[in-house]
C-alpha cells in the first residue's frame, strides 16, 4: 500500500490521520464530559481543562493539515457507484464531520479565551486571546461547544454502525479499506 491515495484505496497517511483523529476526538468528548463534573477540590479540576484546551488546539492544526492533505489527494472511488443516495450520504457525513470539528475547535477557543487569557499549549507556545471580556460570548460558545460535541459523538456512532453494516451486511471493502487491509 502506498503513502498516498489511489483511485481504489486510501494511502497510509489518510488512514493514519483518520484513526488518529477519531481516537483523539472521541477521547476529547469523553474527557470533556468527565471534566465538567469535577468539583473544585478534585486534583484534576484545573489540569484537565488545560490539557483539553491544548489538545484541542493540536486537533485544530491536525484538521487543517488533514483537510489540505485530502484536497491534494486523489479521492478513492465509491465502492458502490450505482448507489447515488448512499454515496451522497457518505460524502455529506464526511463534510459534516469536518464542519463540526472546526466549529468545536473555534467555540472551544472562544470559551477558553473569553476572559482575555490565551491558550497555553503544553508550555510550548500560547495562542493569544483575540476577543476578551465577553462573558455572554463565552457562555454562548460554551453552549455551542457542548451541543456540537454531543452531535459529533452521535454522528461517530452512526458512522461506525454504517461501517459495520457495510462490512457484515453488504460485505464490501469499506471497512477493510479504512483499516489498510484492502
Q: pLDDT tens digits, residue range 172-182?
A: 999 999 999 98
Check residue 44 and give its pLDDT: 97
Residue owning grid cell 500500500: 1
| pLDDT tens-digit readout, 66-77 | 999 999 999 999
Predicted TM-score (pTM) of the model is 0.93
Is 143 contained in some domain?
A: yes
Residue 108, domain extent: 12-179
Query: Do 142 and 113 form a contact (C-beta atoms < 8 A)?
Result: no
SS3 state at 103: helix
Cα–Cα separations (whole angstroms), residue 160 to 100, 132, 174: 17, 39, 11
The residues with which 120 forms a beta bridge, in sequence order, are 126
Sequence-distant (≥ 6) Cβ neighbours of residue 5 within 8 angstroms: 11, 14, 73, 74, 75, 76
Is 16 contained in some domain?
A: yes
Number of domains composing the chain? 1
Amino acid at each position: 500500500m502506498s503513502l498516498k491515495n489511489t483511485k481504489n484505496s486510501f494511502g497510509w497517511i489518510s488512514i493514519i490521520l483518520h484513526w488518529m483523529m477519531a481516537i483523539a476526538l472521541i477521547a476529547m468528548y469523553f474527557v470533556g464530559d468527565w471534566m465538567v463534573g469535577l468539583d473544585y477540590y478534585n486534583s484534576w479540576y484545573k489540569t484537565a481543562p488545560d490539557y483539553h484546551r491544548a489538545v484541542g488546539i493540536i486537533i485544530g492544526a491536525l484538521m487543517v493539515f488533514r483537510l489540505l492533505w485530502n484536497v491534494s489527494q486523489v479521492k478513492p472511488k465509491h465502492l458502490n457507484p450505482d448507489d447515488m443516495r448512499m454515496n451522497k450520504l457518505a460524502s455529506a457525513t464526511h463534510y459534516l464531520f469536518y464542519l463540526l470539528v472546526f466549529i468545536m475547535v473555534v467555540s472551544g477557543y472562544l470559551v477558553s479565551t473569553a476572559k482575555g487569557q490565551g491558550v497555553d499549549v503544553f508550555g510550548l507556545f500560547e495562542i493569544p486571546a483575540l476577543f476578551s471580556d465577553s462573558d455572554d460570548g463565552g457562555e454562548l460558545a460554551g453552549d455551542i461547544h457542548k451541543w456540537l460535541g454531543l452531535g459529533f459523538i452521535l454522528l461517530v456512532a452512526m458512522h461506525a454502525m454504517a461501517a459495520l453494516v457495510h462490512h457484515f451486511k453488504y460485505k464490501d471493502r469499506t471497512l477493510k479499506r479504512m483499516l489498510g487491509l484492502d
